[in-house]
Chain A
């Protein structure tokens, strides 16, 4: 098999049977189970064979890029989430209109960085788990629990090439919640996160303008500005800035602004200040 050779897969013994990840008998027709597990060809050890993709100096030159800028920060009135919308495949801009914020449910948002398919699929699985929790326990799931569910799911596939750096944002009875979860199984909480190739630029702008006591307008402006500056300097970020505000009553989509418009707006502001 040509593809198997290129990818450096050791074993070419593809049997008809497949191995479910966490159970012995795998039922393809069971929707409940099949969305939580993937079948892996028998006899192939995924950890052994997929490290060719994840290791840096391997012979395999198929490379996954993580070009993006996403950010989120907590402040006194909730959480601000801002993302860019560019998807790149190497030096080629595949799309300028990608939706990188995934609406898990009316009070939980997830951002997308890394593999788009990985993020959107697993966050949909998370949405399902959150809904089941809500029905069973008659109360909304907390942001801590939701992010833990996602982190545990993803940890099962650690080393197998999932690429995902997502921020789970929400508002629960403990107040605003922000967790960073990635495909290495990392799960952190903090007041401010930025993920992606442009995150370094965004952090610079965020750190210089951030206070807990911002008002809503200032916070939204800060988020938008940080993304703009990241798209300005980072080649792999661009397109439009999608801005969301997570409040006690749930999330609200604020605006979608082209970075070119922002560029001229900020330029005019600078000119006005000079005078």
Chain B
């Protein structure tokens, strides 16, 4: 029965599902894990780096992208789709700066990305973006933010979240261990992110990439 309703993106199934969007979410679950933790003065992103072949230069596989001086993005899912999304988001950041003379707020750019994703779930002949995105950064007024979007075009703000492979178990780990005291200390946030990631990633430091953003400082 479901196979009749999963061809076209613009068609609902009788029980109210958009199958293409759900299949896109499956694609996300196959992608490599990304974890984000928001502290009081710091936001941390940790991504699992896929093992590279011996002859491949591993510098060319970037899972974290800088959208603007104060916004960074990590994704889980189709890398090619991510490239397009990141390009559009970067242009929008600058466009916003031009017309409004203020750097984007995290909420604005997340909303923009979510709207873009939603547009692709409602138009003819196009498939949804097969990726979930974690966006971190600091707003103009100094408050740290962590947002997550998914292929259906919804977005939510989180204190700590994970996407990609084994996201569920990482999220459970975070729920157990995230406290306000940890959030208050920068070092503890970094440690929490690492620990969460190491739950699901095989062996050691080589396969993990960590990105830190503190207020007023560029990405490290």
Instruction: Please report A residues at the B interface, Cβ cutoff 8 Å.
Output: 137, 141-142, 144-145, 148-149, 152
Whether a CB of chain A sits under 8 angstroms from the CB of B100 is: yes
Interfacial chain B residues near A145, Cβ < 8 Å:
99-102
Question: Do the beta carbons of A142 and B108 come within 8 Å of each other?
Answer: no
Q: How far is the CB of A152 from chain B (nearest CB, A)?
A: 7
Q: How far is the CB of A141 from chain B (nearest CB, A)?
A: 8
Question: Do the beta carbons of A148 and B108 come within 8 Å of each other?
Answer: no
Q: Which of B32-60 contact A (CB under 8 A)?
A: none
The proximity string for B residues 92-130 relative to A, scoring 1 for CB distances below 8 Å and 0 otherwise, is: 000000011110010110000000000000000000000
User: CA of A142 to CA of B141 in the docked complex: distance in angstroms?
Assistant: 14
User: CA of A148 to CA of B98 in the docked complex: distance in angstroms?
Assistant: 9
Q: Which 5 A-B pairs have the closest CB atoms?
A: A145-B100, A144-B101, A148-B99, A145-B101, A142-B102
User: CA of A144 to CA of B96 in the docked complex: distance in angstroms?
Assistant: 12
User: A142 is contacted by which of B100, B105, B107 (Cβ under 8 Å)?
Assistant: B100
User: CA of A137 to CA of B108 in the docked complex: distance in angstroms?
Assistant: 7
User: CA of A228 to CA of B153 in the docked complex: distance in angstroms?
Assistant: 58
User: CA of A142 to CA of B102 in the docked complex: distance in angstroms?
Assistant: 9
Interfacial chain B residues near A152, Cβ < 8 Å:
99
User: CA of A142 to CA of B97 in the docked complex: distance in angstroms?
Assistant: 12
Q: What would be 12 A-B contacts, judged by CB atoms less than 8 Å apart?
A: A137-B107, A141-B100, A142-B100, A142-B101, A142-B102, A144-B100, A145-B100, A145-B101, A148-B99, A148-B100, A148-B101, A149-B99
Instruction: Please report B residues at the A interface, Cβ cutoff 8 Å.
Output: 99-102, 105, 107-108
Q: How far is the CB of B171 from chain A (nearest CB, A)?
A: 28
Kindly report which residue of chain A lies nearest to residue B99, judged by CB atoms: A148
Number of A-B residue pairs with CB-CB distance less than 8 Å in the complex they form: 19
Q: How far is the CB of B211 from chain A (nearest CB, A)?
A: 27
Kindly report which residue of chain B lies nearest to residue A147, judged by CB atoms: B101
User: CA of A152 to CA of B99 in the docked complex: distance in angstroms?
Assistant: 9
Kindly report which residue of chain A lies nearest to residue B140, judged by CB atoms: A173
Kindly report which residue of chain A lies nearest to residue B98, judged by CB atoms: A148
Interfacial chain B residues near A149, Cβ < 8 Å:
99
Q: How far is the CB of A177 from chain B (nearest CB, A)?
A: 11
User: CA of A129 to CA of B108 in the docked complex: distance in angstroms?
Assistant: 17
User: CA of A148 to CA of B105 in the docked complex: distance in angstroms?
Assistant: 18
Q: How far is the CB of B109 from chain A (nearest CB, A)?
A: 12
Q: A149-B99, A152-B99 are in contact. List 8 more A-B contacts (CB 8 A).
A: A137-B105, A141-B100, A142-B100, A144-B101, A144-B102, A145-B99, A145-B102, A148-B100
Interfacial chain B residues near A137, Cβ < 8 Å:
105, 107-108
Interfacial chain B residues near A148, Cβ < 8 Å:
99-101
Interfacial chain B residues near A144, Cβ < 8 Å:
100-102
User: CA of A148 to CA of B97 in the docked complex: distance in angstroms?
Assistant: 11
User: CA of A148 to CA of B99 in the docked complex: distance in angstroms?
Assistant: 6
User: CA of A163 to CA of B162 in the docked complex: distance in angstroms?
Assistant: 56
Interfacial chain A residues near B108, Cβ < 8 Å:
137
User: CA of A148 to CA of B102 in the docked complex: distance in angstroms?
Assistant: 12
Kindly report which residue of chain A lies nearest to residue B111, judged by CB atoms: A136
Interfacial chain A residues near B107, Cβ < 8 Å:
137
Interfacial chain A residues near B105, Cβ < 8 Å:
137
Interfacial chain A residues near B102, Cβ < 8 Å:
142, 144-145
User: CA of A141 to CA of B102 in the docked complex: distance in angstroms?
Assistant: 11
Q: How far is the CB of B101 from chain A (nearest CB, A)?
A: 4
User: CA of A143 to CA of B195 in the docked complex: distance in angstroms?
Assistant: 46
Kindly report which residue of chain B lies nearest to residue A145, judged by CB atoms: B100
User: CA of A96 to CA of B102 in the docked complex: distance in angstroms?
Assistant: 41
Q: How far is the CB of B5 from chain A (nearest CB, A)?
A: 33
User: CA of A152 to CA of B105 in the docked complex: distance in angstroms?
Assistant: 22
